[in-house]
Amino acid sequence: MHYTIFDTPIINSLMRWISLGILRLSGWKAEGQAPAELKYVLIAAPHTSNWDFPFTLMICFALRLNVVWMGKASLFPPVIGPVMRWLGGIPVNRERAENLVQGTVNAFNDNKKLTVIVPPEGTRDKVTHWKTGFYYIAHGAGVPIALGYLDFKRKVGGIGGLFYPTGDIAQDMQVIQQFYAGISGKNPKQFDSKNIQTK
């Protein structure tokens, strides 16, 4: 994995205090704590707004998480790309999902400590299907799934716990999606956990 802002002790600590200050001033707070496990997939939902990205980063700093995250390749143009990578970004070619899953599984196998954020919706637009790459990454690597969330109604964000995939994706996804029932995104009409299917 490449060197990121989370690997920079002084800047990391400074960003944590800045993040806590901004969250407090905006009426937000972080809930939960960093998992004790050294390796896990962190899903972030719901994803309905451009505001999700900065709030997710601030919650990560507040909880002292060291993460890398998946983002569409268009977020990494020549000039801004290096900055996005330093912020923990990994560009994703959505047309090569199978290679992405296996590549991430390999990264988990090759690292003693790794947290990868994967938004199951894949887009901030209204969705009716969750992409299942995060599930197959976790199951293939033998790591748990951390249930990360941003609830704009309550103004809280954090990690609700860990889920260990059993291999029965249909049953497991029902359990995971039940967790997100009642959690409101910035644009709640774009997310309804009851109507979300997987693909």
Alpha carbons within 13 A on the beta-carbon side of 172: 18
User: Strand 114-118 relative to strand 29-31: parallel, antiparallel, unpaired?
Assistant: unpaired
Residue 148's pLDDT band, with cuts at 50, 70 and 90, is: very high
Note the residue count of the chain. 199
**Cα 112 from Cα 146, distance rounded (Å):** 17
pLDDT tens readout for residues 152-176: 999 999 999 999 999 999 999 989 9
Q: CA nearest 93: which of 124, 71, 69, 123?
A: 71
Q: What percent of the chain has pLDDT over 90?
A: 47
Residue 122 has pLDDT above 90, yes or no: no
Q: What is the pLDDT of residues 22-55, one digit of tens each?
A: 999 999 999 999 999 999 999 988 878 888 989 9
Taking the C-alpha atoms of residue 99 and residue 102, their distance in angstroms, rounded to an integer, is 5
Q: Are 185 and 152 in contact (CB under 8 A)?
A: yes
- 15: tokens are 């960003």
